[in-house]
Amino acid sequence: MPILTLPTTPYPDQKPGTSGLRKKVTVFAQKHYLENFVQALFDVLPDAKGLTLVLGGDGRFYNRVAVQTILRMAAAKGYARVLVGQGGILSTPAVSAVIRATAASGGIVLSASHNPGGPDGDFGIKYNIANGGPAPEKITDAVFARSKEVREIRTSDHADISLDVLGSTTIDGMEVTVIDPVAQYAELMRKLFDFDAIRKLFASGFRLRYDAMNAVGGPYAKAILEGELGAPAGTVVNGTPLEDFGGLHPDPNPVNAEDLIAHMFAADAPDMGAASDGDADRNMVVGRKFVVSPSDSLAVMAAHATLVPGYRAGIAGVARSMPTSTAADRVAKALGVPCFETPTGWKFFGNLLDADKVTLCGEESYGTGSSHVREKDGLWAVLFWINLVAASGKSVEALVRELWTAHGRCVYSRHDYEAIPTDKADTLMAGLRAQLATLPGTTVAGCDIAFADDFAYTDPVDGSTSSKQGIRIGLKDGSRVVFRLSGTGTEGATLRVYLERHEPDASRHDIEAQTALQPLVQLADAVAQIRVITGMDQPSVMT
């Protein structure tokens, strides 16, 4: 058999972050950098005899090279079969759907998600397990440990195969099947949503603008919205995946998707706007002249889930990442179902979903999903909202305002301070940790502090623990400020400051979020010394 064993030298920096290993393309392009990580993964995984692996990525620069490399290494590992998306393309939720539908043993997602792409941009790799979700920390920790010891790479010497033609071929006895990236996913969406009602809605003149940000969501949105649901051609814009996302930063928030926001605030704005990110697992939903916060989006979905066929029987519970606003908690309480608070990152939702403890999950970072897969899912969330509009006859804005009327408004914002030198970011976090014991009971910048802690999580299903997941400062009036460092960036450190204040008074629901949150901004700076330590007067991005 033409299986080669190549000597290699370990890299010290292959620690997966919030969602897989993300580095600059220039880092991945170093000799054997990708191979070392894949070998470390394969060394940690059990024997692959008879097993199926799913493989695909968001189409960014280096995707095709990486697919070919991994196919050769998968053959050496001994997989029976690899299912690879045509053109090397599969969105993150589609990988999850295909793993589940084909009973594959796992999958490899090639994406740096919302990070910029192109030769000077970022690349990423992530392993998903048999439930379709991101590998838990037990596995990612083992892979990191192994990556520091890996001395040999096992690979086939087979030539590149064609990724563009559907069908099967073999690499050293391993079957490689190039699959339609959309088919399996579309079938799942048909089962969950009322396609007839949505078709009627579009036929009645409902106008949607879906901005795929030149990323992998385009083919899925075009096939389903325009191809099946009768949305007019042109509904999906920036719908062709480009290796550099056409220079866009494929992170759907009002700052990066400014073109969509401009359309949604124009005189002839469509009824609904939506955007998805690099790997199509995030979503932004926008009403006509009305921006929906992701935390509110999760709460609205939970409140009205029974209007959607796939959730007709009701939801078992909701889970949200710790920094996500408490809007979903309020809805869950009213519904009489549990709401779980997990650390940031989708991998923490997997056990809760597998154990049927929750049906819907969400993060403040424009991510929502459900038990249908084990990833967040951008187009799914958009279809959910369209289904809600179709079934309720209400606009996006009306649905959010109803939530506020029923439960008060959780005024919310995230302030990101990007590219801080790592040592300064560590100093800032250490400074906060040093104050945790003394802050409660004090008044800082006019805010009465009730508690301060470093969020730790014990998984209610397997008992595993994760500590140091973010500093929380809670006020007597229920407001919160949360601080954590990003685990997806590739340049220095990014400090995220999450601000939440509950506003029960309906006459104040239209107050501008940044204005309403000013006292918390002052508090954040007073306790964390953000301006002094970082030298930054303003956040880089406010969403």
So which residues are the catalytic ones? 113
Q: Does 487 bind ligand VG1 (CB under 6 A)?
A: yes
Contact between residue 294 and residue 364 where contact means Cβ atoms under 8 Å apart: yes
Minimum separation from the CB atom of position 364 to ligand VG1 (A)? 7
- Determine which residue in the list 23, 282, 357, 501 makes contact with ligand VG1, applying CB under 6 A: 282
- From residue 177 to residue 196, the character string flagging contacts with ligand VG1 as x (rule: CB under 6 A) and all else as - is --------------------
Q: How far apart are the first and last CA of the chain?
A: 54
Dihedral (CA of 111, 414, 363, 306) sign: negative
Q: Which does 39 bind (CB under 5 to 8 A by kind): Co ion, ligand VG1, none?
A: none
Interface region with ligand VG1, contact rule CB under 6 A, candidates 64-72, 275-283, 440-448, 454-462: 275-283
Q: Which does 374 bind (CB under 5 to 8 A by kind): ligand VG1, Co ion, none?
A: none
Cβ closest to Co ion, residue 68 vs residue 253: 253
- What is the C-alpha separation between 101 and 90, in angstroms, rounded? 14
Q: Which does 487 bind (CB under 5 to 8 A by kind): ligand VG1, Co ion, none?
A: ligand VG1
- What is the C-alpha separation between 258 and 80, in angstroms, rounded? 46
Minimum separation from the CB atom of position 282 to Co ion (A)? 5
Query: What is each CA distance from 46 to 105, 145, 147, 150, 461, in whole angstroms?
Result: 10, 16, 16, 16, 23
Q: Which of residues 428-457 bind ligand VG1 (CB under 6 A)?
A: none
Count of residues in contact with Co ion, rule CB under 5 A? 5
Contact between residue 420 and residue 427 where contact means Cβ atoms under 8 Å apart: no
Q: Does 72 bind ligand VG1 (CB under 6 A)?
A: no
Query: What is each CA distance from 406 to 81, 326, 466, in whole angstroms?
Result: 51, 14, 34
Please, what is the Cα angle at 165 between 162 and 168, to 5 degrees? 80
Does an H or E element contain 318, and which? strand 318-321
- What is the C-alpha separation between 98 and 109, in angstroms, rounded? 12
Minimum separation from the CB atom of position 376 to Co ion (A)? 7
Interface region with ligand VG1, contact rule CB under 6 A, candidates 233-241, 422-430, 482-490, 514-522: 482-490
Q: Which of residues 288-347 bind ligand VG1 (CB under 6 A)?
A: 321, 344-346
- Determine which residue in the list 271, 281, 296, 329 makes contact with Co ion, applying CB under 5 A: 281
- From residue 72 to residue 111, the character string flagging contacts with Co ion as x (rule: CB under 5 A) and all else as - is ----------------------------------------
Q: Does 279 bind Co ion (CB under 5 A)?
A: yes
Name the β-bridge partners of 85. Answer: 179
Reference 66, options 93, 32, 94; nearest CA is 32
Q: Does 19 bind ligand VG1 (CB under 6 A)?
A: yes
Minimum separation from the CB atom of position 322 to Co ion (A)? 19
Query: What is each CA distance from 159 to 156, 177, 194, in whole angstroms?
Result: 9, 16, 45
Q: Does 368 bind ligand VG1 (CB under 6 A)?
A: no
List CB contacts of 527: < 8 A, sequence separation 6 or more: 432, 435, 439, 444, 473, 481
β-strands 409-420, 541-542 pairing:
antiparallel
DSSP state string for 88-120: EE--HHHHHHHHHHHT-SEEEEE--TTS--STT
Q: Does 277 bind Co ion (CB under 5 A)?
A: yes
Name the β-bridge partners of 106. Answer: 53
Minimum separation from the CB atom of position 108 to Co ion (A)? 15
Contact between residue 136 and residue 21 where contact means Cβ atoms under 8 Å apart: no
Minimum separation from the CB atom of position 515 to ligand VG1 (A)? 24
Minimum separation from the CB atom of position 200 to ligand VG1 (A)? 32
Q: Does 277 bind ligand VG1 (CB under 6 A)?
A: yes
Q: Which parts of this chain interact with ligand VG1 (CB under 6 A)?
A: 18-19, 113-114, 277, 281-282, 321, 344-346, 363, 365, 367, 486-488, 496
Q: Which parts of this chain interact with Co ion (CB under 5 A)?
A: 113, 277, 279, 281-282
